Amino acid sequence: MTTPSVRRQTTDAFVQLKNVSKTFDVSAPWLNRVIERKPQSFLHAVSDLSFDIQRGETLALVGESGCGKSTVAKLIVGLYASSTGSVTIDGQDMKIALTSNNDAARALRRKVQMIFQDPYASLNPRWRVADIVAEPIRTHKLIANGAALDKRVAELLGFVKLTAKDGEKYPHQFSGGQRQRISIARALASNPEFLICDEPTSALDVSVQAQVLNLMKDLQREMGLTYLFISHNLQVVHHIADRVGVMYLGRLVEIGDKKEVFGDPQHPYTRMLLDAIPDLHMTGKARTPVAGEVPNPLNPPAGCAFNPRCPRRFEPCDQSRPELLRLKGRQVACFAASAAVSSPTLATSA
Amino acid sequence: MSRFFDSDIWWSFKRSPATMIAAVLALLFILGAVLAPLIAPHNPYDLAQISLLDSNLPPMWNTSGNADFPLGTDQQGRDILSTIMYGSRISLLVALCAVAMSIVMGVGLGLLAGYVGGRVDSIIMRIADIQLTFPAILVALLISGIGRQFVPRDLQDSLALYVIIFSIGLTGWVQYARTVRGSTLVEKSKEYVQAARVIGVSKMAIMVRHVLPNVLGPVLVIATLNIANAIIAEATLSFLGVGMPPTQPSLGTLISEGQNYLFSGEWWITVFPGIALIVMVVSVNLVGDWLRDALNPKLQ
C-alpha cells in the first residue's frame, strides 16, 4: 500500500516538535516527603513527542482523556515550557515567546493563537464582546484605537457570522455556539497563521458543532491557516483533519494521513478507538469494545504502555517500548503491526 | 441583565422589614453626620456658642431640662445631640477611610499572592497568618502607639485622625487578602485568563483588567460588614485613650469622657453617644448581612 500523500518530515515544516517532553512534579510537599519517607513522583504528561505540521494543513490529535493532548496544545502555544525538546514555529523556537518580550517574541505570539474548549469559561464575563475581540489588536498595537479599530472588530465579527451590534453585548447574552464563534473571532484578530484548537466543539450541541467546524474550514481556506485540532471525537476529526495523530499515555502511537489511519488502522489502539464508534466506515465489521482503563500515568506499565489492554499483545510488548516506525504509509509504534508486515504468519497467531 | 439584577436585589430588600428599618437608620446617621454643620442645633466646638452656665443639663424631658438641648449637655455646656452628630462624622470618616485602606491593601496583596503564587504567595499569606494570631484591636493599639511615637508631640492631636485610620486600616487587610486570593486562584485557572496569556497580555494587565473585576463581588459584602467593625475599633481605641483627642471627639471619645461622670449622676453624657454607636453599628451590620444573603446565589 503505497501512499504518496504522506508528507515527508522536512526541516522546513511550519510547525515542528522535536522530542518534546513535559514532566510535572506531583510530589508531596518536601516536609511530608521527609516525614512519610515518600519518594518524589513525576507525571510524564508528554514523552518524546515529535511531529510536523505543514503550512495550511490540519493535524488532529486524538486520544482518551488524560493522554496528554491538551498538554501538547499548551506546550505549543507557550502556556507551558517543555521539559526537554523543542517546539519550532516558522523556524523560530517557541522558547523565546516564553522567556523574552522583544519584537521577535511578540511577533511569534501574534502568529500562534488558540481556541479553547469551554466557550463559557474562555470569554471574560465582564467584558463586552467588542473589547474581547479587540484585545489581541490592542495588545499587539496592530491598529490604533478609534474608527479603524471599530471597523476591524466589525469585520472580525462578520467573519464568524455575527454583527457589529453584537459587539456591544456581554458574553452571557450569547449561546454556546455563538460564544465559540466569538472565541474564533478573537483568535483571528491578530492575523495568526497557526491556530491551536483544544476540543473546540466538545462543549457544543451536535447541530452547532457542524456549524462551527464548517466555519473553521472556510476560514482556513480563505486565510490559509494551519490548524492543530485536538479532540476525542473521531467523527469531528474525520470531518476536519488532513492528518491524524493518535496519542496514548503521552506518546504518539500512530500518525499519518486521515484516509490511511481511519481506513486501515495499524495500531490496535487506533482500531479499538475506531471500533468504539458505531457508524464511521465500520458497518459490518466485528467490533472490539475498548477494554480496560487507561493505566495510571504516574506508574505506567513497562514496555509498550498499551500492552495491558492490547488484544495483539505478544512477547516483546511488556519488555521494551516500540519505536514509531514508518509502516504502510504512516508511522506506527507497535511490535505486532511491524511483525505482521515483516512476517504475516506471526500476525495470525498473535 | 443588570436591570434584572437590580430588581432582584430590590425585591429581596422589600421582603426584609428589618433591613429596611436598618437602612433607614443607617441613612439617617449618615445624613446627620454629613450635614452636621448645617442641621446640628449647636456647634459644640465653637467656644463662642458654649456657656458654662448650661453645663450638666439633663435631657429635655427631665424637669430641669432645657428644650434648647434635647439630650442635655456635658460638663462644659456642650449640647450632647450636636456632639453626637459631629462625633459620628469622625467615626464614619475613620471607618470609611480605614476600610478603603484595607481594601486597597488586601485586594492588591491577595491578587498578587493568588496570581503570582509560589514564594510571593507564601510570604504574603504567612504574614497574614501571623497577623491573625493577634486580636485585631491589639494590633491596632500597637500600631497606633508606635505611630504616635513617630509624630511630634505638638502635632499628635492634629495627626491623630491619620494615625487611627492607618492603624485600623492596617489590621483589616487580611480578610480581603484571603478572600481575594481564593477567588483569584479560581479565576486564574479559567480559560479566559489562559486566552489572555496566549494573546501575550502582560501579567499586570491580566491581574488588573481580567481577574480583578471578577473577584470584587465578595469584597463589597465584606467591606459593608467591616465598616461596622471599623466603627467599633475606632470607638474602642478612642475609649482606651489612643484614638481621637477630646478636641475632635468621635463617639468613642465621647463615651470615654462621659463615663467619668456616670456615677455622679450625669448618665446622659455617656449613655446617648453609646446608644448612637450601638444603633449605628447594628444597622450597618444588618444592611451588610442582608447584602451578603442577597448577593449569594445559593440563598436566592
pLDDT band at A289 (very low <50, low <70, confident <90, very high): low
Q: What is the DSSP string of A171-190?
A: GGGS-HHHHHHHHHHHHHTT
Question: CB–CB of A88/A257 below 8 Å?
Answer: no
Using the structure block, give the residue that is written with the C-alpha cell 475606632.
Answer: B234
From the CA of A173, how many Å to the nearest CA of chain B?
9
Does A108 lie at the interface with B, CB-CB under 8 angstroms? Answer: no
Amino acid at site A286:
A
* B288 membership: H or E segment, kind and range: helix B268-294
CA A49 vs. chain centroid, Å, equals 12
Q: Are A16 and A87 in contact (CB under 8 A)?
A: yes
Q: What pLDDT shows up at residue A288? A: 58
Does pLDDT of A286 surpass 90? Answer: no
The full set of domain ranges for chain A reads 242-350
CB distance A314 to A348 below 8 Å: no
CB contact under 8 A, A122 and B195: yes
Q: In the CATH scheme, what is the homologous superfamily, with its name and number, of domain B2-299?
A: MetI-like (1.10.3720.10)
Q: How many CA atoms lie within 13 A of B186 on its CB side?
A: 8
Asked whether A220 and A58 are in contact (CB, 8 A), the reply is yes
Chosen for mutation from A135, A169, A198 (greatest number of chain B CBs closer than 10 Å) is: A135
Distance of CA B102 to the CA centre of its chain: 10
Chain A residue at shortest CA distance from B195: A122
Grid coordinates of A322: 516500540
The Cα–Cα gap between B280 and B33 comes to 11
Q: Tell me, what's the ipTM?
A: 0.82
Helical H runs in B189-211? 191-199, 203-205
Nearest to B194 among A112, A116, A140 (CB): A116
Q: Tell me the pLDDT tens digit for each residue of A130-178.
A: 999 999 999 988 888 889 999 999 999 999 999 999 999 999 899 989 9
Nearest residue of A to residue B214 by CA position? A126
What's this model's pTM, rounded to 2 decimal places? 0.79
Q: Which of residues 122-151 of A touch B (CB under 8 A)?
A: 122-126, 135-136, 139-140
- Of A123, A136, A172, nearest to B192 by CB-CB distance is A123
* Of residues A221 and A41, more confidently modeled: A221
Of A77, A97, A122, the CB nearest to B191: A122
CB contact (8 A) between residue B199 and residue A113: yes
Which residue positions in chain B have pLDDT lower than 50? 1
pLDDT for the residue A2: 41
Per-residue confidence (pLDDT) for residue A113, from 0 to 100: 93
- In chain A the beta strands, taken as DSSP E runs, fall at 15-25, 42-53, 58-62, 84-89, 92-93, 112-115, 194-198, 226-231, 243-248, 251-257, 325-327, 330-332
Going by C-alpha positions, the residue among A99, A83, A94 that lies closest to residue A43 is A83
DSSP state of B209: I
User: Residue A9: its pLDDT value, please?
Assistant: 45
Please provide the average confidence, as pLDDT, over all residues in chain A.
85
Phi, psi of A348 (to 5 degrees): -70, -35
pLDDT for the residue A5 = 42
A 10 A CB-CB count for B111 gives: 23
- Cβ distance B198 to A112 less than 8 Å, yes or no, reads yes
Cα radius of gyration (chain A): 22
Which residue in A99, A189, A191, A119 sits closest to A153, CA to CA?
A: A189
The answer to whether B273 and B33 are in contact (CB under 8 A) is no
- Which residue type is seen at B147? G
Greater confidence, A288 or A329? A329
Helical ranges in chain A per DSSP H:
30-36, 69-77, 95-99, 103-111, 129-139, 147-159, 176-188, 206-223, 234-240, 258-263, 268-276, 335-342, 344-349
The 10s digit of each residue's pLDDT in A199-227 is: 888 888 888 888 889 999 999 999 999 99
- Cα(B43)–Cα(A128) distance, integer angstroms: 51
| pLDDT interval class at A285 (50, 70, 90) | low
> CA-based angle A113:B192:A45, to the nearest 5?
70
CB-based contact, B5 to chain A, within 8 Å: no
Q: Which amino acid is at A114?
A: M
